[in-house]
């Protein structure tokens, strides 16, 4: 029973990984100014009030609690 459970969990994680990787690069919102491509984040600064994310192109995004 334990082996079947571990095999099922492993299949779910593998399936989830490949579904996540199958997201197309060119989505309709990819270049919208209101969206942040999380893959471009290179640094962050967290405080009690919020989170500052820094991207590869030099821009910063502030996320307030």
Residue whose entry in the numeric block shows the structure tokens 């299949």? 11
- Positive or negative, the CA dihedral 14, 19, 22, 25 is negative
Q: What is the per-residue DSSP string for 35-62?
A: ---GGGEEEEEE-SSEEEEEETTS-EEE
Model pLDDT, residue 46 = 92
- Residue 24 has a pLDDT of 61
Q: Give the H or E element holding residue 64.
A: strand 60-64
All residue ranges of the chain with pLDDT < 50 are none
Q: What is the pLDDT of residue 43?
A: 94
DSSP summary character for residue 24: -
**Domain extent listing, the chain:** 2-64
* pLDDT, position 45: 93
């Amino acid at each position: 029973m334990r082996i079947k459970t571990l095999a099922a969990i492993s299949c779910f994680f593998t399936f989830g990984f490949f579904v996540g990787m199958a997201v197309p690069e060119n989505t309709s919102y990819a270049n919208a100014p209101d969206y942040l491509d999380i893959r471009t984040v290179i640094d962050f600064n967290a405080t009690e009030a919020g989170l500052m994310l820094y991207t590869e192109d030099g821009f910063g995004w502030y996320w307030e609690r």
